[in-house]
Structure 1
Amino acid sequence: MANPPPSHYPDIGDLGEDLVAQWLQSTGWIILHRRFGCRWGEIDIIAQSSEPILAFVEVKTRSPGSWDDGGRNAITQIKQAKIGKTAGIFLAKYPKKAEYPCRFDVAIVSCQIISQQSQKLSAIQKPMASSSVAGYQLHLQEYIPAAFDWAME
């Protein structure tokens, strides 16, 4: 039997972002924007806490054993610069939010097809949040507040 066309498969990156957005909301954050994009790049989630603090959240969703340490190594200096410039565009578009303290967070989500789950998942640290959707099991493994600094210009 042939594989279904790529449009048949869910975008696991979107599923990971959904899980992180739901977790943030459950912990009291307000989601201001999802997939905010400009010519510099895209920010997966922009959230505001009650303090108020703005968090520009980069979500990395990977299958277990990924080459880039679950997405941690994908947050390069170039990626950080793109996120920082995009955050600057967001703050210029919403100047009242520019008065809030800002930080850049990273969320690490593991994803596995449910039919391929093995005992390895039980050995992974207890996830902060989990979700089963579209035949995938997703786990928010790590949420890193203020994962990197960027001087917004």
Structure 2
Amino acid sequence: MANLPPSHYPDIGHLGEDLVAQWLQSTGWIILHRRFSSRWGEIDIIAQYDGRTEEKLLTQHSALSTQHSLLAFVEVKTRSSGSWDAGGRSAITTQKQAKIWRTAGIFLAQFPEKADYSCRFDVAIVYCQRISKNLTGITASQEALATSSVDGYKFKLQEYIPAAFDSSIDNG
């Protein structure tokens, strides 16, 4: 049996990011960018949450109307169950955090109108499993925040960690 070319297989990481982006949107977030890259690295998802409601009606000052806006720079880790790196958690090293932090700085420099927003660095843990055509057993699993099935795989947003790491990383 011949091996299929790599282009035949789905990009599991991108499909995991799709699930997280859909879940964020369903919870009131606006997706600003996907796979934003700079020379320092890439941020999987940049999302904005606007806490502006009645406050916008009460004031004409733009500084006040942005005080509840929040940007989330989201790192998505998609893994199969039993992965060697704790579901992707241990892959988010201090070096990786510094790259994300620097890339977030590039984003804010490119979009200065967002520079006064509160920012945080979130991590989403997505598990994927190949869907077997001969699935006969029942498996127990934790409740997922969101699920999807795409291209013969089942994806579960198992954990979403707001403010997973601090922005005060040493840039040295």
What does residue range 42-81 of structure 1 map to in structure 2 within 5 Å?
A: 42-51=42-51, 52-81=69-98
1:34 corresponding residue in structure 2:
34
- 2:6 maps to amino acid: P
Q: TM-score, normalised by structure 1?
A: 0.94
Which has the larger displacement, 125-134 or 111-120?
A: 111-120
Q: 1:10: which partner in 2?
A: 10
1:150 aligns with 2:155: no
Gaps of 5+ in 1: none
* C-alpha distance in 1 between matches for 2:140 and 2:102: 38
Change (3 A) 1:36 1:119: farther
Partner residue of 1:87?
104
Q: Which amino acid aligns with 2:22?
A: Q
Counterpart of 2:15, as a letter, is L
Listed as ranges, the gaps of 5+ residues in structure 2 are 52-68
C-alpha distance in 2 between matches for 1:64 and 1:15: 16
Superposed displacement of residue 150, structure 1: 1.5
Equivalent position of 2:153 in the other structure: 136
Local SS of the residue matching 1:82:
helix
Shift of 1:123: 2.2
Larger Rg, first or second structure (1 or 2): 2
Give the whole-Å Cα distance in 1 for the aligned partners of 2:35 and 2:15: 13
1:2: Cα distance to partner? 1.6
| Corresponding pairs, count | 152
1:24 counterpart = 2:41 = no
Provide the C-alpha distance between the structure 2 equivalents of 1:78 and 1:132, rounded to a whole number of angstroms.
Answer: 33
Q: Give CA deviations for 1:72-105 in whole Å, capped at 9, x if unaligned.
A: 1111000000000000000000011110000000
Percent identical? 72
Give how far 1:118 is off. 7.8
* 1-structure distance, mates of 2:82, 2:74: 23
